[in-house]
């Protein structure tokens, strides 16, 4: 399986997915920390990929997404954006609305 296939599978199989440096509990950069905190504050579970442990994904995802930086939030297969966009959405309440709506659509065994 190619790296692009892996990325496609991750994006398709996780309704809420954050590509970040580190993990939500132990972020490895300030931008990833702020993004993960904003998503965690929505109160729903989400998937994440630590790009520091996945150098191939770190190299290929910016090309696939046409977005040069990390973190990257993907919701229902669509790129939402990076740290600034995530934080702006969190401040306006838009992020929580989106996350809760998507989480509510998931079957009980997935959420």
Residue-level length of the chain: 111
> Which pLDDT score is estimated for 111?
44
Range 103-106, long-range pairs (CB < 8 A, 24+ positions): 103/15, 103/16, 103/44, 103/45, 105/15, 106/15
Q: How confident is the model at residue 110 (pLDDT cuts 50, 70, 90)?
A: very low
Give me the mean pLDDT over the 65-72 stretch: 97
What CATH code is carried by the domain that includes residue 12? Answer: 3.40.30.10
> Could you list the residue range(s) of the whole structural domain that residue 85 is in?
3-105
Residue 96 lies in a domain: yes
Residue 47 lies in a domain: yes
Q: How confident is the model at residue 49 (pLDDT cuts 50, 70, 90)?
A: very high
Q: How many domains does the chain have?
A: 1
Residue 110 lies in a domain: no
Sequence-ordered list of residues with C-beta below 8 angstroms from that of 49, at least 6 positions apart, any chain = 10, 17, 18, 19, 20, 57
Residue 90 lies in a domain: yes
pLDDT above 80 for 86: yes
């Amino acid at each position: 399986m190619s790296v692009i296939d892996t990325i496609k599978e991750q994006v398709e199989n996780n309704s809420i997915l954050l590509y970040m440096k580190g993990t939500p509990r132990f972020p490895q950069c300030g931008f990833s920390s702020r993004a993960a905190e904003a998503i965690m504050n929505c109160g729903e579970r989400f998937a994440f990929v630590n790009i520091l442990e996945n150098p191939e994904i770190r190299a290929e995802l910016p090309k696939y997404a046409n977005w040069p930086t990390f973190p990257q939030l993907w919701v229902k297969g669509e790129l939402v954006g990076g740290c600034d966009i995530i934080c702006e959405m969190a401040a306006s309440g838009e992020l929580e609305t989106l996350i809760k709506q998507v989480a509510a659509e998931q079957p009980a065994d997935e959420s």
